[in-house]
Amino acid sequence: MLSDDYEQEQEEQAENIDRFIGKVQKYLDLDGLTPTVLNDMVKAVYNVHTSDKSKGYREQQIDIFYDLVEILSSAMLNDLQNRETA
């Protein structure tokens, strides 16, 4: 029984990732973030970290809860994009 639930959850996650990749592909050539894109891609922004200027420029980490796939690191987003364009 637990195995069936796990398999179903894995299938749902794979489907959600595929749908998310489809959304990402729609926006690959954006010049800027628009309200439409933000509403389509992001479910919530839940943590804005303190900015860091130690490298000579301002960096600020923002934790985003994406629609369909929850939290993705920027490295994982790059990997997803590279996988789809390869």
**pLDDT per position as a tens digit, 52-86:** 999 899 988 888 787 777 665 566 666 666 665 55
- What is the predicted pLDDT for the residue at 54? 92
DSSP string of 26-86, one letter each residue = HTTT-SS--HHHHHHHEEEEEEEPPPB-TTSS-B--EEEEETTTB---HHHHHHHHHHHH-
- Give the residue, 72 or 5, on which the prediction is more confident: 5
Q: What percent of the chain has pLDDT over 70?
A: 78
Beta carbons within 8 Å of 16's beta carbon, 6+ residues apart? 68, 69
| Mean predicted confidence (pLDDT) in 3-32 | 82
